[in-house]
Structure 1
Amino acid sequence: MSEKRHILSIQVDNEPGVLSRIVGLFSGRGYNIESLNVAATNEPDISRITMVTTADTAIMEQIKKQLHKLINVVTVHDLTESDYVQRELALIKIHTKADNRSELINIVDIFRYKIVDVGTDHVTIQATATEEKLKAFIELVTPMGIKEIVRTGSIALYRGS
């Protein structure tokens, strides 16, 4: 079986140590976490963990079963085979000179991103997009000189009800 990228949406009790146990489950079995996001939900006692990992179908089934066994895990959903909305947030600081600043502003406008900081030698962009669109933007502006990037990793929800 071939490995495939999976987006897991895990609802857990909003308590200290829950994330540590989940990460421990992954590291203890040699599974890699490509991206990880955690935040409280509209229910204050529940948090949602959005995790991206790569595994074949058999390993993914085992991961989900092991997650379900953890006491503070409420639900585990693999969004990969479903219809879902996924986004990632990035702040990208790009080196700019007078001769390339207008080009960068045009690229930012085309991607519908936002300039959130401007300095004498840099512009910081806020980008919210799918991983693929974000990757395309980064490839386009790399020749200008990226100073720093910080990314949230994926967050995702099922489409519809």
Structure 2
Amino acid sequence: MKNRWIALYVENQVGVLAKVSGLFSAKSYNLQTLTVGTTEREDVSRMTISVKADDTTFEQIKKQLNAMVEVIKVIDLTTMPIHMKEILFAKVFNLNNEGKTEAFQIAEVFDQGGNVKIVDIGVDSVLFQCTLTERKNNELITLLKSRFKKIEVTRGGAVAVESISSSCR
């Protein structure tokens, strides 16, 4: 079992997301993440799906998605050069001034060209906004949990696009 990624171009119609996610639940496939957004064409949406599966199961998933009428194109992103980011918000609570300073320092260390920011500050809390890879977001969460007593995390799932050069993830 390993992580796999698929990009789907689908008709932008009511019920398509339910049909795609229904296929996964009907076959007992577990979606790790699923993000959806419209493309440059208002009648077409692109889904980025992450699933943990073995080779045989993954091939079956791709075949079943290809068979759906609403699916325009299925792209296996697993082995191709891609650019992938995940949005994450993390609230850190019950901070004194030293804790806030440490939160700002952590944001500065993890920042990669504006990908980690503290976007809101309360009397005793801060809100991180991160657009890193899933792995780097996991590392940030681990660090925040080790340094602060109370955090709340909201993740949006990965969005990926095929590379136009030879650079990869």
2:123: which partner in 1? Answer: 120
Structure 1 counterpart of 2:72: 74
Letter of the aligned partner of 2:24 in structure 1? F
| Cross-structure match for 2:40 | 42
Spell out, residue by residue over 1:72-115, the C-alpha distance to the aligned partner (whole angstroms, 9 max, x if none).
10011110111111100011001221222111111101111111
Query: Following the alignment from structure 2 to structure 1, what is the Cα–Cα distance between the partners of residues 106 and 42?
Result: 39
The percentage of counterpart residues that share the same residue type is 36
CA contact (8 A) 1:92 1:146 kept: no
Matched with 2:110 is: 111
Letter in 1 for 2:107: V
Once the two structures are superposed, the pairs formed by residues 1-161 of structure 1 within 5 Å of their partners are 3-95=1-93, 96-112=95-111, 113-142=116-145, 143-160=147-164
Aligned equivalents of 1:10, 1:88: Cα separation in 2: 17
1:59 Cα offset (Å)? 1.0
| Counterpart secondary structure, 1:81 | coil
**Structure 1: gaps of 5 or more residues:** none
Number of positions where the alignment pairs a residue of Structure 1 with one of Structure 2: 159
Report the TM-score when normalising by structure 2.
Answer: 0.91
CA RMSD after TM alignment: 1.1
Measured in 2, the distance between the counterparts of 1:106 and 1:61 equals: 44
* TM-score scaled by length of structure 1: 0.95
